[in-house]
Chains A and B, each alone.
Chain A
Amino acid sequence: MKYLKFLIIGIIFGIVMFKSEAASWFRIYEMFQFQSFHMYGIMGSALTLGVLGTWLIKKYRLKSIDGEPIKFTLKNKSFSRYMYGGILFGLGWALAGSCPGPIYTLIGAGYVSILVVLLGALLGTFLYGLLRDKLPH
Chain B
Amino acid sequence: MEWIFEPWPWYVAGPLIAGIMFSLLFGGKTFGMSSNLRTMCTIGGAGKKADFFNFDWKSQRWNLTVVAGAIIGGFIAANFLSYDTAVHINPDTVETLENFGFASAGGAYLPNELFATDALTDPKSLIILLIGGLLIGFGARYAGGCTSGHAISGLSNLQLPSLIAVIGFFIGGLVMVHLLFPLIF
Contact = CB atoms under 8 A, between A and B. Distances in A.
Interface residues of A, number: 114
B8 A83 contact: no
Contacts of A57: 25
Given A19-B13, A65-B26, A128-B141, A100 B8 contact: no
Contacts of B59: none
A45 B115 contact: no
B115 A25 contact: yes
B133 A82 contact: no
Interface in B53-88: 53, 61-63, 65-79, 81-82, 87
Interface residues of B, number: 129
B161 A82 contact: yes
Interface string B159-178: 11110111111111111111
B146 A11 contact: no
Contact of B168 (A50, A85, A110): A85
B16 to A, nearest CB: 5
A113 B7 CA distance: 23
Given A75-B161, A99-B136, A120-B136, A20 B69 contact: no
A74 B138 contact: no
